[in-house]
Structure 1
Amino acid sequence: MNVRRYRAKDMSDAMRQVREHQGADAVILSSRRVDGMLEIVAALDNEDAAKGSASIRATPARSGGRPGSGASRFSGGRGQSPVDSDLEAMRRELSDLRHLLVQQNGASESAQWAARHPLAAELVAGLTECGFHEKLARSVAGGIPEETNIETAWSRVRARLSSALTTEQPDILERGGMLALVGPTGVGKTTTISRLAMRQIRRMGRDAISLVTLDRQRLGAYKQLQAFGQMAGVPVMLLESERELADLAVRSGEGRLVLVDTAGQSARDVAEQRLFAQIRSEIDLETWLVLAATHQGRILRQVLQAFQGSAPSALVLTKVDEAEQLGETLSVLLEQRLGLTFYSDGQGLGEHFHAVDTLYLTRLALRETPLLRTGSMRASAERAATRPLGSAPIADRLGPLDQGMILESVVPFRKSAHVGL
């Protein structure tokens, strides 16, 4: 923005000066009488002209003017351009005005688009209110004919979102092997390990599974897993290093599932190393990345990027029940290639751990369904919360649904931990 101030005896003379210095495209911003002279301020919105023009200076006062009246104020440095505080303030105001006009223009375009596509605008507004990104919302809502009734339109939006979510059905739970859960601190890796173990115990029996932890950092991490292992009757081992994990893989044998809990790490720390890089070529090791639905989209993206070095093959989503806007989480999941395999929506080990159901998650994100899907499930959970745990192994006591047992409430037994296979 090239702004200049001129003084002339009349408007004709002033316009001549403006055309000579700034050209015919200059705009008169203000004019006033000062000491019998006409003072005008003109601006030219042309970066090339602004670069090639001389420094801004005011025309000296003519006869009748007071000495120094309207003169530019110069900075004290040698060779520096003259500085006029009024013109600098005007520059800032013009810059703010330009940004405001750009914003208003964008808002005007959005309003015009909404006026032309009222149904799509309503769908986009509903999706963004649920946490979905506006760009994704426009993509999902696009292509739905305007004459479609609102119920049918939302049904199509729901179907599009549900079908677009990538899922994964790993076969390691069927064939056995070594499965490690990785992820940031506090996302629920240890609890997810216990939930997977319970699922396998029901399907394959306690002899087909072992629990391992490499987490020596978090206080009580091993105790928590040890408590579950003692109740379930499955071995739990605390290993010092990845090398010991490789040795264990040789001894575990065919068909046995070894679930490995790892220490939580920040995205910054894990990006500097590659978990299991030294032993991955020696053993058949699969990793799943555990994410919390409570994290902001920006944090989820950082985690997904940071844990790429761990080569995860699937995702587990936890704390779905605590997410304020599940749409923000699903937006991030829709941006990446890893498939979702399990999710949890509560603290119960069994009743709140599910194989992926994209339609239910989509309905939950759109706030179309309550968290508990059936009244019978709620009643079962309430009955389970009042039933005391017996002394039999957990694999023998649990039915089709978990009896509401919460891992965090289990007190470790005093007997020694299982250490063998």
Structure 2
Amino acid sequence: MQYRRFRAPDMQKAIRKIRDAVGPDAVIMSNKRLPTGEVEILIAIDYDGSMAPTASHQSAARKSAPAASTSSRAGQPSPSYQERIAQARSLSGSAASPKPKGEAYEVFEEAPVAQPNLYAEPEPAIQEDLSIRPHTQERPSPDEEKLRAMEKELEQVRRMLEQSQEDKQQAAAQASAVKRQTYDQRLHEQLKTLGLSDRVIDKIVSDLSLTGREEDWKKALSHLADSIPIRSSTEAFSGCIAFMGPTGVGKTTTIGKIAAQYVLKYGSQSVVLITTDTYRIAAHEQLRTFGRILNVPVEVVNEYTDLNEVLDKYSNYSLILVDTAGMNPRDRNLERQLAMMKRARGYLKKLLVLPCTSQRQVLKTVVDVYSQIQLDGCVLSKLDESASLGEAISVVIEEGLPVMYVADGQRIPDDIEPARAHNLISRAVYTAEQFGQLYGALKYGS
């Protein structure tokens, strides 16, 4: 068995040095602090606690304590086993071999093992915990305690700063949300004055980045105009067009306006008027009157004729306008009218006339009924009689129905023009302002 003595500035470094040098099989026999301030640890290598003390240890013990041996032989009580271990450890320091240069430990060679005394009383093993640990834990120095206290204080300050930053961010987010909600409500109320539906308003407001300034209103109106589907103005006042819709929406008047504008611009040689309204008494007389004034032919499609035959007859004309019977969406005869339009030539464009004076739900019902014939667009009529254009605008946006013409009066041929989105929104704002002033005057009697 070998002994080694290690020195280091402190206990942790000594333990680390022992672990690096001999591994975890070392047994710490003793440790002490030297006058120089270093820590010295004595360890045993290949230590077997079950073995009896060696002869060298016994002889060293006899030399150092002859009186004890004599007294023992004389029948006096012998020293305890723990005392003998302490004596062996003290003797090991004096019997150590010179320390090699450049090393912080000393090596002791194990003496030859004496034959065990079979009659000796068995002694307990002194095997200690091999997980090299210092017997005592050093207390930190005052400087280290101050440093740890400062680190704790700095950690607390850091946490306080982080919490304060999070609180500021949450407060800013809440303030921003409150401002956004305030701006949304204000803009929602402004758009509501135009008569727009909540669905359209929510879509407009959600698409905008609001600032709470006057520019929010302008951006909302511009975005609303961009949301309106519009047919190209180059397609207006040309081709083969059929006008459909309920009673009294202005189908025949719209045909008269378009025909008059075309005749004034290009002449009456390429215009023909066709009517399929044979359900009302003298329903086609108004259209015949337009034909006589404009000097254009007028054809009536009844149960004895076919619409496609009439269209083929005038296929070389530049403008063919077809008037249909105005019917309630719940009228049974409307199915026959729709079936005729379904069988019509593919080049026949079908436009639905929607009066801006009707309620939003009525307009939506009309669109749902006539949509089975694949409408190509619509005409917004009676803008001059309406107190709010938002209902009709909401329907065309929600249904995706392109607007081709807008009609705002009874004058022929002046009160009709191709649809333009921004002009329509400007008219809606103007109508809402005029109606608000009129309503205020009636309410307060001024």
Do these two structures clear the TM 0.5 threshold for a shared fold by scoring above it?
yes
Residue 269 of structure 1 corresponds to 331
Residue 263 of structure 1 and its aligned partner are, at CA, apart by 0.4
Q: 1:194 aligns with which of 249, 256, 259?
A: 256
Residue in 1 that maps onto 2:73: none
Query: Is residue 142 from structure 1 mapped to residue 206 from structure 2 by the alignment?
Result: yes
Q: Which residue of 1 aligns with 2:196?
A: 132
Q: For residues 267 and 279 of structure 2, what CA distance do their matches in structure 1 show?
A: 31
Tell me, which stretches of 5 or more residues in structure 2 are unaligned?
Answer: 1-175, 435-446
Q: Distance in 2 between matches of 1:155 and 1:319?
A: 26
Aligned CA distance change for structure 1 residues 356 and 314 (closer, same or farther; 3 Å): same
Deviations 1:57-97 (A, max 9, x none): xxxxxxxxxxxxxxxxxxxxxxxxxxxxxxxxxxxxxxxxx
Return closer, same or farther for 1:239/1:116 CA change in 2, 3 Å cut-off: closer
Q: Which residue of 2 aligns with 1:279?
A: 343
RMSD, matched Cα: 2.7
CA contact (8 A) 2:270 2:319 kept: yes
The answer (yes or no) to whether the contact 2:379–2:405 under 8 Å persists in 1 is yes
CA distance in 2, matches of 1:114, 1:181: 49
Query: 1:323 Cα shift?
Result: 1.4
Match of residue 310 from structure 1 = 373
1:187-219 Cα distance to aligned partner (Å, 9 max, x none):
011001111111221333200001111112234
Once the two structures are superposed, residues 212-233 of structure 1 have per-residue CA deviations (whole angstroms, 9 ceiling, x without a partner) of 1111223443121111111111
Q: What is the distance in 2 between the residues matched to 1:255 and 1:173?
A: 15
Aligned pair 1:206/2:206, yes or no?
Answer: no
The number of equivalent residue pairs is 257
Alignment-mate amino acid for residue 182 of structure 1: M
Match of residue 326 from structure 1: 389
1:258 aligns with 2:324: no
Matched, 1:181 2:258: no
How big is the shift at 1:256? 3.3
Secondary structure of 2:290 counterpart: helix
Partner of 1:80: none
**C-alpha deviation, 1:352, in angstroms:** 1.2
What secondary structure does 2:358 align onto?
Answer: coil
Pair 1:343-2:384 in alignment: no
AA aligned opposite 2:367: L
Q: Evaluate the alpha carbon distance shift between residue 334 and residue 253 of structure 1 in structure 2; reply closer, same or farther with a 3 A threshold.
A: closer
Does the 8 A contact of 1:276 with 1:310 survive in 2? no
Q: Give the alignment of 1:68-147 within 5 angstroms.
A: 117-147=181-211
**Structure 1 vs Structure 2: percent identity of aligned residues?**
27
**Cα distance in structure 2, aligned partners of 1:291 and 1:120:** 31
Against the structure 1 CA distance between its residues 155 and 172, is the aligned structure 2 distance closer, same or farther, given a 3 Å change threshold? closer
Counterpart CA distance in 1 for 2:229 and 2:317 is: 28
Q: CA shift at 1:239, angstroms?
A: 2.3
Residue 231 (structure 1) aligned with residue 293 (structure 2): yes
1:359 to 407, 414, 422: 422
Q: Corresponding residue for 2:146?
A: none
Whose Rg is larger? 2
Aligned counterparts of 2:315 and 2:204: Cα–Cα separation in 1: 48
Contact 2:194 2:389 survives alignment (8 Å): yes
Residue 347 of structure 1 deviates from its aligned partner by 0.8
**The residue matched to 1:334 in structure 2 has which SS?**
helix
Q: TM-score, normalised by structure 2?
A: 0.53
Determine the C-alpha separation between the residues in 2 that align with 1:256 and 1:336: 30
| C-alpha separation in 2, matches of 1:184 and 1:218 | 13
Give the letter aligned to residue 320 of structure 1. Answer: L
SS in structure 2 of the partner of residue 126 of structure 1: helix
- Which residue is 2:140 aligned to? none
Q: 1:292: which partner in 2? A: 355
Aligned-partner SS, 2:288? helix
CA contact 1:275–1:309 (8 Å) conserved in 2? no
- Alignment partner, residue 69 of structure 1: none
CA distance in 1, matches of 2:199, 2:363: 18
SS at match of 2:331: helix
Quote how far apart the aligned CAs of 1:269 are: 2.9
Name 1:81's counterpart in structure 2.
none
Question: Matched residues in 1 for 2:269 and 2:278: separation?
Answer: 26
* Contact kept? 2:356, 2:381, Cα under 8 Å: yes
Pick closer, same or farther for the CA change 1:115–1:218 going to 2, 3 Å.
Answer: farther
Q: Secondary structure at the match of 1:264?
A: coil
CA separation of 1:253/1:332 partners in 2, compared to 1, >3 Å: closer, same or farther?
closer
The 1:123–1:368 alpha-carbon spacing in structure 2 relative to 1, beyond 3 Å, is farther
